[in-house]
């Protein structure tokens, strides 16, 4: 079994070696989780209107949870039209106030945006994930349908690199009807994804349609956009979530002498127009229900919204087959305060300019494992460096380096280092898999008439198992 799967992954990888660096995506070089200056007067104006909105809300109904603060700052969809009456001119006009959250209104990705992610750094990343998707589809017995579902696809670069792998592996995939499903809240990013991915398409006529955008790739694959995972049709699916869960709202809790208390966001009485963290004097519903009884840390962050998505993924994988691959900054239940804001190339006060800065918290994979439940098998987390090496990044690099000129070689090397170096994304970024339980059951293999006697090792899953490349 081990030999069979490893050989398949190697074979798939060798089939994509003829893909060369494409000029448009070639080594989208970057130096770090790149933060470039994005401050603009537009940012400042919408930042202060979001701040005013949050301040008046808090003044009216009391401090809000960190989760509510994040939800408003990142994904509030509202643009408000205010009617103003000018006394001097005796006329009425309208002012558009943007309360729109960071993800809803901005393209924040790429060297020209606020930050850069692995798929934007190198096409190798998407190619290896494409091989992973196809190898999991093969390991599931090559079902007739393959839905690739990406949560939070950003600029669409990962999906685009994977689709190129699918085209290359067409002889292998021809038995399946393949479709792409994107879960995206941002109208700005969904437009960008459409530009990258589809040749023809359109938008839904009504706002409440589950599929709000649709189209076909140049190769004829159907692509659909949804705001929520619930709206994606059921069926054998491979789900990908790259830097998605770290953008979802977290609750924060502090251990006190009187028990667990929720950390809330309040207006700062000493600094007008500023917000501050406070510890709730009494338990909240969240502090009563979301902290584990045996929790040993003094401060914990719980992403309940992410937990709901994980439960949905687990249910779907258990029922329809397939797998979910989650890749994110994270830890395995060891870290405490990871809530961070980023803006303009650097760390940014999480409570300053809401709506204009990225807010993120590391994914707690011990929580992911717990909420996924027993209906699925969990693998990982493993470090990105390990995952990519297991997927054959070194072999792929050698082929590309052989076929590149000097300057492409330098870019290749720097993006490789960025993805795999322990001090960069190699160790801080983790991969986690949810798989159908049958995937880890070793089928009984008859050798002659005798069944194997030894308890077999778990069958390998590409990326999570070391595979020696010849
Ligand atoms: N996966 C991409 C983008 C990461 S940024 C990459 O790695 O490059 C986070 C992405 O998730 C963005 O596309 C953002 O618009 C989307 N997103 C954030 N919150 C979301 C939510 N609640 N539902 C769906 N998409 C969301």
Q: In a structure prediction context, what are the per-residue pLDDT tens digits for the chain, which is 470 residues long?
A: 344 467 788 889 988 988 876 543 344 433 333 333 344 555 555 568 889 999 999 999 999 999 999 999 998 876 544 444 444 445 555 444 455 777 766 666 665 566 678 888 898 999 999 999 999 999 999 999 999 999 999 999 999 999 999 999 999 999 899 999 999 999 889 999 999 999 999 999 998 899 999 999 999 999 999 999 999 999 999 999 999 999 999 999 999 999 999 999 999 999 988 999 999 999 999 999 999 999 999 999 999 999 999 999 999 999 999 999 999 999 999 999 999 998 876 788 999 989 888 899 999 999 999 999 999 999 999 999 999 999 999 999 999 998 888 888 898 999 999 999 998 889 999 999 999 999 887 666 555 545 444 545 566 899 998 767 66
Tokens 């009391």: give the residue.
62
Query: Ligand 1 mean position to 343 CA, how many Å?
Result: 17
At 107 the pLDDT is 61
| Residue 250 Cβ < 6 Å to ligand 1 | no
| Residue 242 Cβ < 6 Å to ligand 1 | yes
| Residue 117 Cβ < 6 Å to ligand 1 | yes
| Residue 309 Cβ < 6 Å to ligand 1 | no
How far CA 405 is from CA of 29, 125, 308, in Å, comes to 16, 20, 48
- What tokens were used for 47? 């930042």
Hey, how many other C-beta atoms are within 10 angstroms of the C-beta on 407?
9
pTM of the predicted structure, to 2 decimals = 0.89
At 179 the pLDDT is 98
Hey, how many other C-beta atoms are within 10 angstroms of the C-beta on 444?
8
Q: Is the CA virtual torsion 5, 10, 12, 13 positive or negative?
A: positive
Q: Which stretches of 307-404 are assigned E, i.e. beta strand?
A: 322-331, 340-343, 346-348, 358-360, 363-364, 377-383
Looking at ligand 1, which residue's alpha carbon is closest to its atom 6? 154
CA 80 distance to own-chain centroid? 29
Rounded (10°) angle between helices 393-402 and 406-420: 170
Q: What is the dihedral of CA 205, 210, 216, 222, to 10 degrees?
A: -150
Tokens 């696809």: give the residue.
153
Query: Ligand 1 mean position to 76 CA, how many Å?
Result: 14
Query: Ligand 1 mean position to 101 CA, how many Å?
Result: 12
Looking at ligand 1, which residue's alpha carbon is closest to its atom 5? 154
160 CB-side CA count, 13 A? 20
Domain with CATH 3.40.50.12710 in the chain: 2-38+106-250+303-451
Query: Ligand 1 mean position to 62 CA, how many Å?
Result: 29
Question: How would you classify the pairing of strands 299-302 and 446-447?
Answer: unpaired
| Residue 369 Cβ < 6 Å to ligand 1 | no
Query: Ligand 1 mean position to 457 CA, how many Å?
Result: 37
Looking at ligand 1, which residue's alpha carbon is closest to its atom 10? 152
Query: Ligand 1 mean position to 186 CA, how many Å?
Result: 8
Q: Do the Cβ atoms of 137 and 179 come closer than 8 Å?
A: no
Whole-number Å distance between alpha carbons of 419 and 162: 17
Query: Ligand 1 mean position to 181 CA, how many Å?
Result: 14
Contacts of range 35-39, beta carbons closer than 8 Å, 24 or more positions apart: 35/114, 35/115, 35/342, 35/343, 35/344, 35/345, 35/346, 36/111, 36/112, 36/113, 36/114, 36/344, 36/345, 37/344, 37/345, 38/108, 38/113, 38/114, 38/343, 38/344, 38/356, 39/343, 39/344, 39/356
| Residue 189 Cβ < 6 Å to ligand 1 | yes
At 302 the pLDDT is 98
Contacts of 413 (CB under 8 A, 6+ apart): 401
Query: Ligand 1 mean position to 80 CA, how many Å?
Result: 24
Query: Ligand 1 mean position to 151 CA, how many Å?
Result: 7
Looking at ligand 1, which residue's alpha carbon is closest to its atom 23? 185
| Residue 185 Cβ < 6 Å to ligand 1 | yes
Report phi then psi at 382, rounded to 5.
-120, 155
| Residue 70 Cβ < 6 Å to ligand 1 | no
Query: Ligand 1 mean position to 183 CA, how many Å?
Result: 8
120 Cα nearest atom in ligand 1: 8
Report the alpha-carbon angle 182-210-312, nearest 5. 65
Q: What dotted CATH number matches 2-38+106-250+303-451?
A: 3.40.50.12710
| Residue 244 Cβ < 6 Å to ligand 1 | yes
H or E segment to which residue 71 belongs: helix 66-75
At 36 the pLDDT is 35
Whole-number Å distance between alpha carbons of 427 and 329: 9
At 94 the pLDDT is 47
At 108 the pLDDT is 62
Q: Do the Cβ atoms of 135 and 38 come closer than 8 Å?
A: no
């Amino acid at each position: 079994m081990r030999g069979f799967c490893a050989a398949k992954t190697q074979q798939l990888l060798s089939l994509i070696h003829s893909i060369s660096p494409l000029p448009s995506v070639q080594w989208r070089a970057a130096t770090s989780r790149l933060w470039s200056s994005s401050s603009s007067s537009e940012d400042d104006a919408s930042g202060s209107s979001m701040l005013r909105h949050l301040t008046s809300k808090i003044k009216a109904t009391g401090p809000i949870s960190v989760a509510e603060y994040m939800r408003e700052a990142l994904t509030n969809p509202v643009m408000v039209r205010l009617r103003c009456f000018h006394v001097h001119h005796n006329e009425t006009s309208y002012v558009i106030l943007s309360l729109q959250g960071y993800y809803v209104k901005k393209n924040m990705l790429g060297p020209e945006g606020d930050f850069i992610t692995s798929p934007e750094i190198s096409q190798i990343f998407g190619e290896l994930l494409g091989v992973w998707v196809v190898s999991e589809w093969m390991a599931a017995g090559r079902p007739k349908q393959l839905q690739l579902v990406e949560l939070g696809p950003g600029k669409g670069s990962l999906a685009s690199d994977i689709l190129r792998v699918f085209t290359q592996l067409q002889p292998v995939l021809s038995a399946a009807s393949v479709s792409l499903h994107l879960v995206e809240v941002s109208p700005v990013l969904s437009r960008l994804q459409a530009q990258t991915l589809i040749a023809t398409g359109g938008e839904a006529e009504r706002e409440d349609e589950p599929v709000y955008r649709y189209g076909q790739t140049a190769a004829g694959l159907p692509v659909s956009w949804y705001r929520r995972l619930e709206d994606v049709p059921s069926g054998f699916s491979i789900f990908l979530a790259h830097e998605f869960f770290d953008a979802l709202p977290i609750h924060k809790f502090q251990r006190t002498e009187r028990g667990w208390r929720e950390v809330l966001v309040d207006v700062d009485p000493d600094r007008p127009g500023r917000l501050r963290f406070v510890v709730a004097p009494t338990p909240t519903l969240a502090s009563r229900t979301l902290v584990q009884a045996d929790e040993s840390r003094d401060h914990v962050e719980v992403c309940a919204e992410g937990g709901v998505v994980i439960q949905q993924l687990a249910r779907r994988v258990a029922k329809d087959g397939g797998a979910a691959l989650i890749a994110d900054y994270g830890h395995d239940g060891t870290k405490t305060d990871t809530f961070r804001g980023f803006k303009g190339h650097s760390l940014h006060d999480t409570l300053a300019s809401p709506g204009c800065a990225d807010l993120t918290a590391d994914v707690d994979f011990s929580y992911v494992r717990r909420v996924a439940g027993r209906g699925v098998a969990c693998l990982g987390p493993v470090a990105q460096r390990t995952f990519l090496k297991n997927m054959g990044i070194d072999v792929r690099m050698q082929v590309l380096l052989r076929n590149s000129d000097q300057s492409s070689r330098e870019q290749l090397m720097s993006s490789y280092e960025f993805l795999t170096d322990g001090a960069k994304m190699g160790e801080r970024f983790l991969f986690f898999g949810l798989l159908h339980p049958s995937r880890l059951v070793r089928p009984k293999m008859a050798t002659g008439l005798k069944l194997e006697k030894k308890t077999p090792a778990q069958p390998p899953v590409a990326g999570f198992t070391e595979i020696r490349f010849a």
